[in-house]
Structure 1
């Protein structure tokens, strides 16, 4: 039975905990810097992230249970822990084809479908009932929100967020650290560091503007 430490104690952590339990694993601690000291709550250890040095022993692994792509990346850099200490979590009600590559630290939630030869990078969130079709590439630190659909051969760059219910047609490239608004329909390539919304999706904001 896999033992997991969650970094972050919020609503998102609750969903990840359910995913872990569906695999037969258990959460032993939830660490968050809003806590000042170590304490116990419902048989879980809680406290600041610095406690990781005491708790990360033997077969214990980590998942960063924070929705923000930027914050997940910053915590990975801060911890500087070996890749193999991060768990990959796939809910038992997700459908992930055998040819799919899922990298470390990523969580795939219930109802997700990931089809043949798709690739999902590290520390990504593939949220409930989303669909990632064949040959898609989803890079590190991404978030595919509930009900979003990536049709075949779509690429989503590092740190990007595809909003709830958005649809991306085949062969589209979405750049890095870009946000696609909820319910949008993406029918042309979207550059990096922008926000795009609507049907069809249009850029409404560039980083720093």
Structure 2
């Protein structure tokens, strides 16, 4: 499935950390026009340029943008225990902004795949037939999502992770770097599969699967409750 910017002609990055660096590289490789970055910390420090693009200000700079012509890139990475990425995305959407799906030219995405708003597919990723990816989801570098997987919103599939066929993932879940989820399994909301873990049975909501022995434990409520409000 090819990416589409619709009527949007320019893009603005939100955040200027490591994830944003990778996305700016993706945009440059795709020939997309990123006109600037909004980052409160850079603005506070009086920085005017970041990696060759203008620092437009903090989050308040969004109020000066034309929502019909400027799309946003969510440069905030998704880490376990933080919902800042989801909160920022939902706030901007409520103001009328769009986040076009972004696909690195070195990724493979089957034409039957459905990409929600703000999906980010990095270099080397593989998306096979009849996959659905929900809004604001990250398929990171070299990750693989096989046929008929259904991935909900605000999910992060970390670098090198593998989802075998017909995996179902609920909102806010996280699959760590190099992890493997065996075919036909399900992850509940905010479930976490630790890096390098092989998941061989369903994982309930708010659980973490860790290490080669695949132990599970409950996620503390404070780590995710803010994003559920």
Q: Distance in 1 between matches of 2:218 and 2:172?
A: 16
Q: Which residue of 2 aligns with 1:180?
A: 193
How far off its partner does 1:147 sit? 0.3
Q: How does 1:1-209 map to 2 (within 5 A)?
A: 2-34=9-41, 35-36=43-44, 40-41=48-49, 42-68=52-78, 70-79=83-92, 80-82=94-96, 85-208=98-221
Q: Secondary structure at the match of 2:44?
A: coil
Distance 2:175 2:140 in 1: 10
Q: Secondary structure at the match of 1:67?
A: coil
The answer (yes or no) to whether the contact 1:186–1:200 under 8 Å persists in 2 is: no
Q: In the TM superposition, what whole-angstrom CA distance separates every residue of 1:51-88 from its partner, at most 9, and x where no partner exists?
A: 011124542100111112611211123331336x2111
In the superposition, relative to structure 1, how do residues 39 and 58 fare at CA in structure 2: closer, same or farther (>3 Å)?
A: farther
Deviation at 1:200, TM superposition (A): 4.9
Q: Secondary structure at the match of 2:13?
A: strand
Residue 38 of structure 1 and its aligned partner are, at CA, apart by 7.4
Whole-Å separation in 2 of the counterparts to 1:170 and 1:43: 42
Query: Following the alignment from structure 1 to structure 2, what is the Cα–Cα distance between the partners of residues 38 and 144?
Result: 34
* Structure 1 stretches lacking a partner, 5+ long: none
Could you state the TM-score of these two structures normalised by the residue count of structure 2?
Answer: 0.84
Aligned to 2:3: none
Q: Normalised by the size of structure 1, how large is the TM-score? A: 0.92
After TM superposition, the structure 1 stretch with the greater mean CA deviation from structure 2, 192-201 or 45-54, is: 192-201
Deviates more, 1:41-50 or 1:21-30: 41-50
Give yes or no for contact 1:4–1:87 (8 Å, CA) kept in 2: no
